[in-house]
A and B are shown apart, each in its own frame.
Chain A
Amino acid sequence: MAAGDKHLEITLETQVESVNLAEEMCLRVAEAAGFGEDDCYRIGMSVREGVINAFHYGNQERPEKKIHLAVDITSEKLIIRVLDEGTGFTLADVPDPLAEENLLSTSGRGIFLMRAFMDEFDVVTGRTGGAEIVMSKKLPDPSANSSNGQGGQQSNPRQEA
């Protein structure tokens, strides 16, 4: 970890409340990092979907399993990792929710939304053997005029560390 980088890690219970908790925590970090309202919405939604994925598909809603959430702020981007204690999966096996035959499916849109809302997205095998979602968004340029509301208007917390 480079000087000035920040790291936050939390272990969550496999329960519905963890989804809101993770979203709220990451929203605060994103706001402090200077992201604007629209980007905060996208980041918050992506965290929700990542934790829902871990809660439902990874940990199969089993309360003895944990969800591991990590947030890093580097000089370039906000990185979020969501790790479950399931058996893992590969992205190639996830059905395309935009395919005609899947449009009326009642599930399976979480991965799609995270991909759509974040700059980078991947799924790897984590240290637990479960799936680890790794996604990131480039930090807003504090000197640029924001195109999405408040972005760039706040000081960059990296300079405050």
Chain B
Amino acid sequence: MALRATYRDAGPVTVVDLSGRITLGDGSALLRKTIRGLLEDQRKKILLNLADVDYIDSSGIGELVSGFTAVKNQGGELKLLQLTKKVRDLLQITKLYTVFDVYSDESAAIRSFG
């Protein structure tokens, strides 16, 4: 399933709801475009809701890392919300689970932003 991305405001935090697959090609490109677009709008507190993302390949992982670094370099924060089992397992075996701030509860995730 092609990736879809919509975003909404939760106070100072922008929650990006993603659904589908983040893979080489359109999926990774859309994620990159979305995060870069938010940064251009000076939205630097970004919460990626991955509840409906059931598949990520190495290209998608690379794009998550790229987004994380881009946001951080601009003084912002990018966090992850509601990982599916496959995505969580993937982040664990690649040791990225310790790099990203990951939450299961949206309210708690939003409160965690400084």
Q: In the complex where A49-B57, A103-B95, A103-B99 touch, is A19 in contact with B62 (Cβ < 8 A)?
A: no
Is A41 close to B, CB under 8 A? yes
Task: Tell whether, in the assembled complex, residue B24 and residue A109 are in contact, meaning their CB atoms are under 8 Å apart.
Answer: no
Q: What is the chain A residue whose CB lies nearest that of B95? A: A98
Most chain B CB atoms below 10 A, which of A49, A105, A109: A109
Q: Which of B36-44, B63-71, B75-83, B105-113 has 4 or more CB atoms under 8 Å from chain A?
A: B63-71
**Could you tell me if A110 and B58 are in contact, using CB atoms closer than 8 angstroms?**
yes
CB neighbours (8 Å) of B94 from chain A are: 97-98, 109, 112-113
Interface residues of A toward B: which range?
A: 20 to 34
Q: Does A104 contact B (CB under 8 A)?
A: yes
Q: Whole-angstrom distance between the alpha carbons of A4 and B61 in the complex?
A: 39
Q: Is the interface of A mostly helix, strand, loop or mixed?
A: helix
| Chain B residues in 8 Å Cβ range of A20 | 23
Does B114 belong to the interface (CB within 8 Å)? no
Residue of A with least CB distance to B57: A48
Minimum CB–CB distance from B29 to chain A (whole Å) comes to 10
Q: Is B33 an interface residue (CB 8 A)?
A: no
B66 in contact with A106 (CB, 8 Å): yes
B96 touches A52 (CB 8 A): no
Complex CA distance for A55 and B24, rounded to whole angstroms: 11
- Is there contact, CB below 8 Å, between B65 and A104? yes
CA distance A116 to B96 in the complex (A): 15
**Within the assembled complex, what's the spacing in Å between the Cα atoms of A52 and B59?**
9
Q: Is the CB of A19 within 8 A of B24?
A: yes
| Chain B residues, CB < 8 A from A159 | none
Tell me the A101-151 residues at the B interface (CB within 8 Å). Answer: 103-107, 109-110, 112-113, 116
